[in-house]
Amino acid sequence: MGLTESGGFGAGLLISLFTTPVGVSGAVFLLPVQVSALGVPSPAVTPTNLLFNVVAGPGALLRYRRAGRLGGPLTRLLITGTVPGVVAGALIRVFAVPGPRVFRLLAAALLLPLGTWLCVRALRPARRPAASPPSARATTALALAVGTVGGIYGIGGGSLLGPVLVGRGVPVAAVAPAALASTFVTSTVGAATYALLSLTAPGAVAPHWSLGLACGAGGLIGGYLGARLQPRLPDGVLRLLLGALAAGVGLLYAAQGLR
**Of 6-10, 41-45, 46-50, 81-85, the least confident:** 41-45
pLDDT of the residue at 109: 83
Q: Would the pLDDT of 56 be above 90?
A: yes
Choose among 253, 252, 238: nearest CA to 21: 238
Tens of pLDDT, residue by residue over 167-182, are 888 888 899 999 999 9
Is 90 exceeded by the pLDDT of residue 81?
A: yes
Q: How far apart are CA 255 and CA 257, in angstroms?
A: 6
- Specify the range with the lowest mean pLDDT, choosing from 144-148, 236-240, 252-256: 252-256
Q: Are 163 and 116 in contact (CB under 8 A)?
A: no
Whole-number mean pLDDT of the chain?
A: 84
Global pTM reads 0.81
Of the candidates 135, 245, 140, the residue with the CA atom closest to the CA atom of residue 182 = 140
| pLDDT (mean) for 120-131 | 68
Residue 91 pLDDT level (bands cut at 50, 70, 90): confident
